[in-house]
Amino acid sequence: MGSIFIYVICIAIIEIYLFIKIGSEVGAITTILLIFSTAVIGVYYAKYEGLKTLKSGFTQLSKNEPLGYEILSGAGIAFAALLLIIPGFLTDIIGFLLIFPISRKFIFEKISKKFNEKTVKKKNNFIDGEYEDIESDEDRKV
């Protein structure tokens, strides 16, 4: 809980800093128009990518193939659309990175490697053995 709060505060500080820096360079009106235009373009492209992912999911479903990447991709696109709606330059950059399929796949591969390494370390706590089911004469009596 504490680390999420720190991340939110840091993102807010970075966004305010970027607003001030970019606003002082290009002007306030241009900065506001830039924020609104990235939101509109990003949400439109997120809709396009979401429908493409949905179509791919239906194709995978009709072939009886697993939908793991499509489900994860759809969640990533929804999160990217949320980031693009939130005003700010940092959130827009992260949102656009999640919307484009090439960068989204790269990000998912990096995250999945991290989680796979953690689960492999945790799954080594088992005892391997064999068993034999022996029926006795008492078990046969009814």
Residue 54, token pair as written in the block: 């949905």
Q: How many CA atoms lie within 13 A of 131 on its CB side?
A: 5
Question: Would the pLDDT of 14 be above 90?
Answer: yes
Residue 141, token pair as written in the block: 């009596």
Q: Is 81 exposed, middle or buried (0-12, 13-18, 19+ CB in 10 A)?
A: buried
Question: Would the pLDDT of 121 be above 80?
Answer: no
φ/ψ (deg, to 5) at 56: -65, -40
Q: What is the pLDDT of residues 40-77, one digit of tens each?
A: 998 899 899 989 988 988 888 888 888 888 888 888 99
| Domain layout of the chain by residue ranges | 34-118
The pLDDT, as a whole number, for residue 118 is 64
pTM, full prediction: 0.71
**3-state helix/strand/coil string of 69-94:** HHHHHHHHHHHHHHHHHCCCHHHHHH
Which residue did the predictor score with more confidence, 12 or 142?
Answer: 12
- The answer to whether 89 and 22 are in contact (CB under 8 A) is yes
Please compute the mean of the pLDDT values over residues 73-102 and round it to a whole number.
90
